[in-house]
Chains A and B, each alone.
Chain A
Amino acid sequence: MSAPTTDAPFLTEPDADAADLASATRQTSVYVYEAPLRIWHWVNAAAILVLCLTGYLIGSPPPTMIIDEATHQFVFGYIRFAHFAAGWVLVVGFLGRIYWAIFGNHHARQLFYLPIFNGRWWKEVWFEIKWYLFLERAPKKYVGHNPLAQLAMFFFITLGVSFMIVTGLALYSEGLGQDSTLYKMFGWVFTMVGGNSHVVHTIHHLGMWWIIIFMIIHIYVAIREDIMSRQSIVSTMISGHRTFKDDRPD
């Protein structure tokens, strides 16, 4: 835990009243998300945005543009290039994220496991569900992800992104050819779906919507929690510090 903010600067601050000063001296923050993790979050977010946009266009290409002879025009090629480039950023980022789960602080590990044998954790999941169903008056304080968020992150991001990486690299390896190393690594994906690559395209496409649904929920909940919960959310992914709005326990 970092030291509480000193109250010295506030003494001359005309905008701060006594209550503000009392609150400011009490407020504490915990350094939760270290720099590599925060960088990953935003790089990953940007990559996913590019991947969704270009991925959609690869399935449903924009109207034909006749700028020049085909030899000198590379519109669809650039769309696919952006998709592949962002895909590699996502892959390398995800590997880096796994590395940081091992070598970073313990908060960095939350994304990769679910304490499913912990009864208290399940109780907290249930509490969070009730909070979102407006059945609890006040939320609890959490340093890391709340248990429900951890559950969602695990299924949407850890499993979802892994699924997209595996199916995506399999499809990419087809372009490199069957004798490529990547095809040797991921060719089993085609066997698993019965052999037809078209099926892999379809499930990869469905996976995009899985990620888009996550984006909708994630952005909404992050902003809502930032306003309504008792701790910072959005700024935590920028500064790394989780600050709390009150000093009540729990």
Chain B
Amino acid sequence: MSQIETFYDVMRRQGITRRSFLKYCSLTASALGLGPAFVPKIAHAMETKPRTPVIWVNGLECTCCSESFIRGSHPLAKDVVLSMISLDYSHTLMAAAGHAAEAALEDTIEKYKGNYILAVEGNPPLNEDGMYCIVGGKPFVEQLRHAAKDAKAVISWGACASYGCVQAAKPNPTQATPVHKVITDKPIIKVPGCPPIAEVMTGVITYMLTFDRLPELDRQGRPAMFYGQRIHDKCYRRPHFDAGQFVEQWDDENARKGYCLYKVGCKGPTTYNACSTVRWNEGTSFPIQSGHGCIGCSEDGFWDQGSFYDRVTDLTQFGVEANADQVGMAAAGVVGGGVALHAAVSALKAAQKKSQDTVSQSEEV
């Protein structure tokens, strides 16, 4: 096998200074929750290890993951990591098109058999033999299976690949299916979000390069370092939540003061992601900071959890639009009414029995 360049080689070739390179390493270390001692380790890995080839395939998706990725807060993320990926195969970013592009994919699979990482953006629809998503004249699901066969590991970028996202929302006519339900024999890392945070995406790749293994995953297969805590746990508006100070209406004084968005449906308490710590667009802001509740985009089936603007959301299982309180109150009302009626009949019956007993007693006398 020909000598593959290291990340550092590529960076230097792109005119990046060693100083910037080391800054990238320390930024990544802190993003991964590692101590300063790991900075030289990351630098060493980037300098010596051959870069990991990545094949980036796109199924049913909106490309927001790619868009997020190229907006990584550090220029190196897009200049280096990205350019290396585009060297191999990525619809959105590679220069090649048509047959040349498909040939490049085959080339990479052949050349790096068992060593490349397959990054999947979007998911395959399985209905009608996968005809709802065609890549290079063939259903995407075939390309996915083909590319996954010789991959070292699979990264599921975004909510689409991880959980299905909007195209898999009920009733899911195309039967859009998350990657882990199609590829079952490879280690899969889910990096959910719609899209995931750029630093999270580059962080995952850097971790895999530095330590030659998958990052620690949580119960659902997400990297624990980024998805180990809820938005709510690190939200800067949390003190208002504990105080019981909520935005009641979107245009009220409380909204202007930046109170907690819990009552207007913020899904922060049930959403595992790094938005409230890493934030977006070079750490500028995140949804709650800009005044809108979290919609829970990195959670499984977030489109099917009722309104983004309700705390107690509607249950879809009952065929009517009603939330747990409405269903419960209706049931309790029926039971309460039944109890009242039963009590009334019981009283009547008791009175009737009493009068009959009195009659029979007087007859006996």
Report A's interface with B, CB cutoff 8 A: 56, 59-66, 70-71, 73-77, 79, 132, 134, 137, 174-175, 177-179, 187, 190-191, 194-199, 201-202, 205-206, 208-210, 212-213, 216-217, 220, 224, 227-228
Contact = CB atoms under 8 A, between A and B. Distances in A.
Contacts of B246: 61, 64
B292 interface: no
Interface string B220-237: 100010001110010000
B358 to A, nearest CB: 16
Contact of B343 (A75, A79, A224): A224
A71 B224 CA distance: 30
Given A77-B242, A198-B299, A198-B313, A191 B342 contact: no
Interface in B317-338: 324-325, 327-329, 331-332, 335-336
B122 to A, nearest CB: 19
B244 interface: yes
Contact of B345 (A65, A77, A134, A217): A134
A190 B219 contact: yes
B108 interface: no
Contact of B335 (A64, A195, A202, A217): A217
B332 A209 contact: yes
Contacts of B343: 220, 224
Interface in B135-155: none
Given A64-B246, A73-B243, A59 B312 contact: yes
Contacts of A209: 324-325, 327-329, 331-332
B95 interface: no
Contact of B243 (A70, A174, A177, A199): A70
B287 to A, nearest CB: 16
Contact of A191 (B219, B228, B296, B345): B219
Nearest to B239: A70
26 contacts: A61-B244, A64-B259, A65-B245, A76-B244, A77-B244, A132-B342, A191-B219, A191-B220, A196-B296, A196-B300, A196-B302, A196-B305, A197-B270, A197-B299, A198-B270, A198-B296, A198-B305, A199-B305, A206-B327, A208-B328, A209-B327, A216-B336, A216-B339, A224-B342, A224-B343, A227-B350
A213 B218 contact: no
A216 B328 CA distance: 13
A134 B349 contact: yes
A174 B218 CA distance: 13
Contacts of B296: 196, 198
Contacts of B311: 59-60
B182 to A, nearest CB: 17
Contacts of B230: 174, 197
B71 interface: no
Given A61-B262, A220-B339, A202 B315 contact: yes
Question: Which 4 interchain pairs have the tightest Cβ spacing?
Answer: A209-B328, A75-B244, A76-B244, A195-B300
Contacts of B342: 132, 220, 224
B240 interface: yes
B301 A196 contact: yes
Contact of A212 (B228, B254, B332, B345): B332
Contact of B325 (A60, A134, A137): A60
A195 B270 CA distance: 10
B309 interface: no
A194 B300 contact: yes
Contacts of B163: 195
A44 B170 CA distance: 40
B242 A70 contact: yes
Nearest to A206: B324
Interface string B272-300: 00000000000000000000000010011
A63 B305 contact: no
Given A73-B245, A178-B218, A178-B229, 4 more contacts: A178-B224, A198-B305, A216-B332, A216-B336
Nearest to B305: A198
A214 B329 CA distance: 13
B267 A198 contact: yes
Contacts of B240: 70
B92 interface: no
Contacts of B9: none
B187 to A, nearest CB: 18
Contacts of B228: 177-179
Contacts of B262: 61
B346 interface: yes
A80 to B, nearest CB: 8
B312 A205 contact: yes
A75 B260 CA distance: 13
Contacts of A227: 350
Contacts of A217: 335, 339
B79 interface: no
A228 B350 CA distance: 8
B241 interface: yes
A58 B131 CA distance: 46
B339 A76 contact: no
A61 B243 contact: no
